[in-house]
């Protein structure tokens, strides 16, 4: 539970959420413990007394909170921070500065941006396309003096979990995404996708037996919603969902969903919150058009008219299969606009660069948290 909450992820965890996070994880841990230990006890085994569970929970909550609070305070002290100079575009500097301000426990103190490097500077994060040869020469001359130099895009990625678009160029994609020896990962990912999907389809038969008649009664036909989306390598495919909007929701053409969207039915709100509307996409996984984890697929008409022309490198999120859930979905809120799509693309590029079975597991666990806490749209 602590892992799902992000309490073991120092780079991307925000200490401001510590109080609610420790409370939520303790309560969820109690619930899971009660279910596993007391509702389904192993016959013939001694079961821990309920009093022990209660006492441990009451003690664990303040101790866990105080330990983490002390940890964050200790490593946030000014004398333990590394003097850091940031060099790059204004947009990227804003992202990095905001993350360092939110997470002082990471150990960085910004002493300047796009300025002279002082004798006390210990780290320089510089953008690869920063057009100032004099700055590069000064940094080069200081190598070997204890100064550490890091690419600003990599630095931002490490502390924020996303890749700033302004800090990268075409050479970045050639270096990190142009070719990856990932045949074993691809085979294993397909195997896991198909296996998990088949198991889920079997387990969800009782859910479908209850849910489909309810949808027929309160929603009417059609139950399923079909729409063309853009998949891997920009190939279109037909995506399936349970209908959560009124039948003629897009009679005036494709449009963004928005907070409090009147087109969403009362039952549709429940389907979206619980992610039940995404269940038919298991069929897309079986057909090889989607994966369990990947960037969420968007509509071709919105990509062609709004996103690709206005957001640099947008189509490169299609280097991988789209997913039922993704890194952007568990890290950023639901997108309602072109500006939100730009923000989510930075998280999608992080996934494209760092994709692995371990990252997929993290995304799935965080998706469980999203569903449990009702944070979905």
Q: How far apart are the C-alpha atoms of 8 and 2, rounded to whole Å?
A: 7
Flag whether 175 is in a domain. Answer: no
- Which long-range CB contacts under 8 A does 99-104 form with residues at least 24 apart? 99/156, 99/159, 99/160, 100/159, 102/14, 102/15, 102/16, 103/10, 103/11, 103/13, 103/14, 103/15, 103/159, 104/72, 104/75, 104/76
Pair 284, 320 in one domain: yes
Flag whether 108 is in a domain. Answer: yes
Flag whether 173 is in a domain. Answer: no
Pair 226, 141 in one domain: no
Pair 341, 209 in one domain: yes
| Cβ-contact 242, 225 below 8 angstroms | yes
Pair 241, 161 in one domain: no
Pair 226, 358 in one domain: yes
Flag whether 172 is in a domain. Answer: no
Q: Is the peptide bond before 234 cis (omega within 30 degrees of 0)?
A: no
Average pLDDT, the chain: 86
Whichever domain contains 96, its CATH number is 3.40.50
Task: Please say which residue of 130, 165, 200 terminates a domain.
Answer: 165
Pair 273, 352 in one domain: yes
Residue 148 CA: distances (Å) to CA of 61, 84, 90, 107, 263: 39, 10, 22, 14, 53
Pair 219, 350 in one domain: yes
Pair 90, 221 in one domain: no
> pLDDT tens-digit profile of 156-182?
988 888 998 888 888 888 887 766 667
Q: Residue 10 sits in which domain range?
A: 2-75
Task: Please say which residue of 75, 107, 124 terminates a domain.
Answer: 75
Residue 96 CA: distances (Å) to CA of 88, 161, 206, 329: 10, 11, 48, 21
Task: Please say which residue of 75, 103, 125 terminates a domain.
Answer: 75
Flag whether 308 is in a domain. Answer: yes
User: What is the pLDDT averaged over residues 314-319?
Assistant: 92
Pair 282, 351 in one domain: yes
pTM for the full predicted model: 0.83
Pair 312, 268 in one domain: yes
Percent of the chain with pLDDT over 90: 36
> pLDDT tens-digit profile of 254-283?
666 766 677 888 888 888 888 888 899 999
Flag whether 129 is in a domain. Answer: yes
Flag whether 188 is in a domain. Answer: yes
Residue 337 pLDDT exceeds 90: no
Pair 8, 144 in one domain: no
> pLDDT tens-digit profile of 109-157?
999 888 878 778 899 998 887 777 788 888 888 888 888 998 888 899 8
Flag whether 54 is in a domain. Answer: yes
- The tally of domains found in the chain comes to 3
Residue 11 pLDDT exceeds 90: no
- The pLDDT confidence band at residue 32, using thresholds 50, 70 and 90, is confident
- Model pLDDT, residue 9: 82
Residue 376 pLDDT exceeds 70: no
Pair 155, 250 in one domain: no
> pLDDT tens-digit profile of 38-74?
777 666 556 667 788 888 888 989 999 999 999 999 9
Strand partners, 227: 239
């Amino acid at each position: 539970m602590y892992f799902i909450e992000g309490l073991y992820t120092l780079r991307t965890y925000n200490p401001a959420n510590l109080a609610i996070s420790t409370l939520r994880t303790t309560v969820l841990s109690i619930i899971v413990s009660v279910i596993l230990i007391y509702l389904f006890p192993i016959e013939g085994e001694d079961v821990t007394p309920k009093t022990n569970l209660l006492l441990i929970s009451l003690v664990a909550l303040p101790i866990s909170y105080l330990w983490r609070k002390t940890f964050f305070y200790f490593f946030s002290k000014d004398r333990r921070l590394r003097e850091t100079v940031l060099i790059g575009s204004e947009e990227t500097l804003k992202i990095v500065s905001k993350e360092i301000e939110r997470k002082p426990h990471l150990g960085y103190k910004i002493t300047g941006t796009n300025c002279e490097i002082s004798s006390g500077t210990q780290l320089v994060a510089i953008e690869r396309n920063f057009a100032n040869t004099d700055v590069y020469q000064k940094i080069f001359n200081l190598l070997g003096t204890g100064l550490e130099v890091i690419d600003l895009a990599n630095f931002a990625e490490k502390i924020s979990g996303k890749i700033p678009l302004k800090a990268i160029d075409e050479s970045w994609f050639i270096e990190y995404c142009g070719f990856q020896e990932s045949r074993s990962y691809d085979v294993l990912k397909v195997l896991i996708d198909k296996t998990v999907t088949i198991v889920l389809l079997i387990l969800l038969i009782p859910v479908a037996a209850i849910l489909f008649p309810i949808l027929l009664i309160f929603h009417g036909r059609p139950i399923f919603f079909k729409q063309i989306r853009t998949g891997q390598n920009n190939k279109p495919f037909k995506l399936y969902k349970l209908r959560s909007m009124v039948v003629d929701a897009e009679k005036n053409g494709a449009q963004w969903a928005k907070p409090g969207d009147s087109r969403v039915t009362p039952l549709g709100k429940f389907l979206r919150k619980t992610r039940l509307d995404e269940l038919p996409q298991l069929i897309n996984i079986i057909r090889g058009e989607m994966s369990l984890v990947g960037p969420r697929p968007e509509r071709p008409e919105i990509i062609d008219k709004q996103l690709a022309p206005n957001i640099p490198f947008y189509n490169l999120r299609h280097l991988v299969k789209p997913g039922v859930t993704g890194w952007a979905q568990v890290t950023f809120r639901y997108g309602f606009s072109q500006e939100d799509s730009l923000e989510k693309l930075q998280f999608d590029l992080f996934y494209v660069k760092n994709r692995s079975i371990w990252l997929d597991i993290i995304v799935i666990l965080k998706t469980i948290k999203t569903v449990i806490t009702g944070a979905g749209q």
